[in-house]
């Protein structure tokens, strides 16, 4: 089901409509957001053309627009795109465009972008394989694809699967890291770096323990991801596979 009008009336798209006006703009608020921005800036250059798949209100586009030639935001939710367009007008961003469509039906020619990224979206797409194929199709040779991928061997995947099911969605897709590597390899992409987060945050999904907010200060006392305790533990050999999320960068051959 790739038609935006049909998708907008189904599943849990209404959740994002309700959140659109209050979604927020602070990409420095969490460790995961800061890591995403660091990776985007690493692989973005002044001459780059970017595609943000699942752009929401455009919070990451807002950060990247001054550093690239052109940036295109794609989202299924009309209200999120209203917020994104308003942001671009308010901030004087004139190199951005916005398209309402599903990630599994990107309406762009092959090899249109140097960098494609997809955050907080991949796990919610019904047909992940089709969406990944579209993202790789519109990516230029030697271009980069940056994804955040939900890990299946973590308590968070159970919690969020149930959370979305109760709100009319199918749940979420969660993966093992090797499984996602295989999917990308089958599409002609090589994973060049991966970062894990969230192994130490599993207490948040245990009834009772989730009330003990002081635990969070222990694992996230340092804002720099390289020094953050959760980041360091989550990336240890033997622990890596149990991460909540992986932030993966793949390069198209």
Contact 149, 245 (CB under 8 A): yes
d(CA 110, CA 204): 42
Sketch the domain layout of the chain as residue ranges. Answer: 4-198+243-252
Confidence at residue 81, expressed as pLDDT on a 0 to 100 scale? 97
Q: What is the CB-side half-sphere exposure of residue 13 using CA atoms within 13 A? A: 21
d(CA 229, CA 85): 37
Please give the average per-residue pLDDT across 135-163, as a whole number.
Answer: 97
Contact 77, 8 (CB under 8 A): yes
Average pLDDT of the chain?
Answer: 92
Confidence at residue 12, expressed as pLDDT on a 0 to 100 scale? 60
Tell which residue, 104, 86, 103, 111, has the closest CA to residue 21: 86
Residue with tokens 């469509």: 101
- Give the CATH H-level superfamily of domain 4-198+243-252: Vaccinia Virus protein VP39 (3.40.50.150)
User: With pLDDT > 70 as the criterion, what percentage of the chain qualifies?
Assistant: 94
Give the pLDDT band (50/70/90) at residue 9.
Answer: very low
CA torsion through residues 199, 215, 157, 21, sign: negative
Confidence at residue 51, expressed as pLDDT on a 0 to 100 scale? 98
């Amino acid at each position: 089901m790739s038609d935006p009008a049909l998708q907008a009336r189904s599943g849990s798209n209404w959740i994002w409509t309700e959140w659109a006006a209050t979604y927020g703009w602070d990409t420095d608020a969490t460790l995961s957001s800061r890591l995403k921005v660091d990776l985007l800036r690493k692989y973005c250059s002044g001459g780059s053309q970017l595609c943000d798949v699942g752009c929401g209100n455009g919070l990451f586009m807002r950060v990247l627009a001054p550093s690239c030639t052109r940036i295109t935001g794609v989202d299924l939710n009309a209200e999120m795109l209203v917020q994104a367009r308003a942001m671009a007008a308010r901030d004087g961003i004139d190199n951005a465009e916005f398209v309402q469509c599903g990630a599994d039906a990107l309406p762009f020619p092959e090899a249109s972008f140097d960098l494609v990224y997809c955050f907080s979206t991949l796990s919610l797409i019904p047909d992940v394989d089709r969406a990944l194929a579209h993202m790789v199709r519109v990516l230029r040779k030697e271009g980069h694809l940056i994804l955040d991928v939900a890990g299946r061997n973590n308590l968070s995947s159970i919690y969020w699967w149930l959370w979305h099911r109760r709100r009319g969605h199918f749940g979420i897709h969660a993966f093992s890291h090797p499984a996602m590597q295989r999917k990308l390899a089958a599409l002609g992409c090589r994973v060049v770096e991966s970062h894990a987060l969230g192994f130490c945050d599993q207490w948040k999904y245990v009834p009772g323990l989730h009330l003990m907010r002081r635990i969070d200060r222990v694992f996230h006392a340092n804002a720099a991801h390289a020094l953050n305790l959760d980041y360091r533990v989550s990336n240890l050999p033997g622990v890596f596979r149990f991460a909540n999320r992986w932030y993966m960068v793949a390069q198209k051959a």
